Chains A and B, each alone.
Chain A
């Protein structure tokens, strides 16, 4: 069972790095969907008896991250932007380099932490860190509103991985918190994306440059 866990974690990190490299909107969303699906299966792999909490989490992730949000994103892509090409802020090469550095940093970081608890696998913490940092990098390097939302969600995945550490003992409240946050955050963002669309007829946030105050 643990072998599967390591595999899944490795897949998540690789998908995250592919996301960094992906350029077309459609492929970005598909990569995200696949990553979320793998994420959803991890709680099952963690072992321990399958109790109500786990089921709720797995189902919740699947419903939210694999089905509901991607459909909305695809709808937004079709409805909103004409060009599918979403260039990055730093350009692909620099992106990957930075991604590599951040993954290295997260492994270096996790070597510093000694986990006295029974670790599910020593790969869990570094992969969670790297997903988090790559999600952050995705947020930073992409100018398209939709890719930013995807970046935000990848970061949420990273945090979700950390939440798994506390799986048995976390009270229900924190899980609700996670879902609440993802759901509402994305919900607001999708509304805002539509607003951007009819306001600016493009979703390139880099053109939302400094408001008039700054130039003065």
Chain B
């Protein structure tokens, strides 16, 4: 079953490169995404028999990330069809092909149990997403791609080193299969394990956009066209987060949980601080969204680092954040298509000229800063209560301080854009808000709202199982 889903996306990618016309390629993209979604849904219903010793198996963590990735990919593919209809003249062969390879590599990431294979899959995601960033051949886009490629490959090289150290630390038993690692974790040599944790944390942290290594994220996400940046920050960051979760599993099994937790909390807090500082001075709304991705990855890291109930909270937050950020980037894409500028000061009175997009932007802003009716509020409060429960009062204090700062800064930027009178200076030509541009973000917004009011039992069960997997 897993081979089918992997083969599907690879076959789709190949097909996309072959097909001549744009329309057919769009068709391939959407139906591959749909079939991918259905397969994922089937994994929820019929749990997969995990074959012993196989490199590919789907455990609870993988299933969670896979479901987020494929739902987001399906919604973004519909949105992308509408978004790129404008440039019908250029052939979107490169776009669709790379998108499907991107999907293939992300699926490989979620299913791979062998840490070596996992690392190769992460490397494949970087290489698949690099050409996507500078689709418009703009000078800025090009520079962002070079930076993305350079920093990510350096980061991943460090992660490779971390994986090596992990293999070395499993002295008598040289294997990187997750199941064997977990069963033999007790006998690992501690210094090698610590080294491997440090390097993997830095490596996968770079890919995930944690604090000191996040510098590529704002450029890449603001230069890429918005369906791509929606995918990047919604799905790709979660795959890198999965990497850190795998390391966490091994660490807990080997009894080094606190060592791993404290480092992760520190990195998480730094990234929230960095995001809080940088969002306040921001003038470009897409960069602001990118920095808020850094902040939310920090929240996830703090959630995992604190442990206890925080694990449940951070898995819940991972799902919420993916959908909210996907929705926000798509709305930002609409804004860019209407106003053709990224400076948030030139865009005013969106609610009056484009009611749907303005509404979505406000809803997105409320969701991303964790306002009550939305799921993000529940997950953030769970992480906070976990921090307070574990007597990490310093962590809880900074966590709240940064959340408040970010709320204030984002409010000044977003509300100035949404309200007020539309300025005549860049009076946008009043084109109709197409359904394809509004329905996908609306669908995601409804999901996040639903998650805020009612957590479906199967999802709740999945979160509990996943936190069992990670915390002993």
Interface residues of A (CB under 8 A from B): 112-114, 116-117, 132, 136, 139, 145, 148, 152, 155-156, 159, 162-163, 165-166, 169-171, 173-174, 177-178, 180-181, 184-185, 188-189, 192, 195-196, 199, 205, 208, 211-213, 216
Count of chain B residues with Cβ under 8 Å from any Cβ of A? Answer: 46
Q: Would you call B284 an interface residue if the criterion is a C-beta within 8 Å of the partner chain's C-beta atoms?
A: yes
**Could you tell me if B123 and A208 are in contact, using CB atoms closer than 8 angstroms?**
no
Q: Would you call B171 an interface residue if the criterion is a C-beta within 8 Å of the partner chain's C-beta atoms?
A: yes
**Could you tell me if A114 and B161 are in contact, using CB atoms closer than 8 angstroms?**
no
CB < 8 Å: which of A116, A178, A196 contacts B171? A116
Complex contacts, A166 vs chain B, CB 8 Å: 164, 167-168, 174
**Shortest distance from the beta carbon of B212 to any chain A beta carbon, whole Å:** 14
Q: Would you call B26 an interface residue if the criterion is a C-beta within 8 Å of the partner chain's C-beta atoms?
A: no
**Could you tell me if A173 and B157 are in contact, using CB atoms closer than 8 angstroms?**
no
Which 9 pairs show the lowest CB-CB distances between chains A and B?
A216-B283, A169-B174, A213-B284, A208-B143, A211-B140, A113-B191, A213-B287, A162-B164, A174-B116
Listed by A's residue number, 25 A-B pairs whose Cβ atoms lie within 8 Å are A112-B191, A114-B189, A148-B150, A152-B150, A152-B154, A152-B157, A156-B157, A159-B161, A159-B164, A162-B168, A166-B168, A169-B174, A170-B167, A173-B116, A173-B117, A177-B116, A184-B123, A188-B130, A189-B149, A192-B149, A205-B146, A208-B143, A208-B146, A211-B222, A213-B218
**Shortest distance from the beta carbon of A1 to any chain B beta carbon, whole Å:** 22
**Shortest distance from the beta carbon of A77 to any chain B beta carbon, whole Å:** 18
Complex contacts, B154 vs chain A, CB 8 Å: 136, 139, 152, 155
**Could you tell me if A199 and B139 are in contact, using CB atoms closer than 8 angstroms?**
yes
**Shortest distance from the beta carbon of B155 to any chain A beta carbon, whole Å:** 11
**Could you tell me if B284 and A152 are in contact, using CB atoms closer than 8 angstroms?**
no
In the complex, the number of residue pairs spanning A and B with C-beta atoms less than 8 Å apart equals 101
Contacts A139-B154, A174-B116, A177-B116 given; does A213 touch B342 at CB 8 Å: yes
Q: Would you call B119 an interface residue if the criterion is a C-beta within 8 Å of the partner chain's C-beta atoms?
A: yes
**Chain A residue with the shortest CB-CB distance to B192:** A113
Q: Would you call B114 an interface residue if the criterion is a C-beta within 8 Å of the partner chain's C-beta atoms?
A: yes
**Shortest distance from the beta carbon of A204 to any chain B beta carbon, whole Å:** 12
Complex contacts, B189 vs chain A, CB 8 Å: 114, 116
**Shortest distance from the beta carbon of A216 to any chain B beta carbon, whole Å:** 3
Q: Would you call B343 an interface residue if the criterion is a C-beta within 8 Å of the partner chain's C-beta atoms?
A: yes
**Chain A residue with the shortest CB-CB distance to B283:** A216
Complex contacts, A177 vs chain B, CB 8 Å: 116, 119-120, 123, 160
**Could you tell me if A159 and B223 are in contact, using CB atoms closer than 8 angstroms?**
no
A212 vs B223: C-alpha distance when bound (angstroms): 10
**Shortest distance from the beta carbon of A185 to any chain B beta carbon, whole Å:** 5
**Shortest distance from the beta carbon of A196 to any chain B beta carbon, whole Å:** 7
**Could you tell me if B117 and A163 are in contact, using CB atoms closer than 8 angstroms?**
no
CB < 8 Å: which of B150, B157, B222, B286 contacts A159? B157
Complex contacts, A165 vs chain B, CB 8 Å: 164, 168
**Shortest distance from the beta carbon of B455 to any chain A beta carbon, whole Å:** 37
A101 vs B146: C-alpha distance when bound (angstroms): 29
CB < 8 Å: which of A116, A132, A173, A213 contacts B222? A213
A93 vs B174: C-alpha distance when bound (angstroms): 43
A51 vs B365: C-alpha distance when bound (angstroms): 60
Contact with A along B113-149 (1 / 0, CB 8 A): 0101101100100010010000000011011111101
A213 vs B143: C-alpha distance when bound (angstroms): 13
CB < 8 Å: which of B117, B157, B171, B284 contacts A181? B157
**Chain B residue with the shortest CB-CB distance to A125:** B168
**Shortest distance from the beta carbon of B430 to any chain A beta carbon, whole Å:** 27
**Chain A residue with the shortest CB-CB distance to B223:** A211
A189 vs B127: C-alpha distance when bound (angstroms): 11
A1 vs B71: C-alpha distance when bound (angstroms): 57
A208 vs B142: C-alpha distance when bound (angstroms): 10
A114 vs B284: C-alpha distance when bound (angstroms): 51
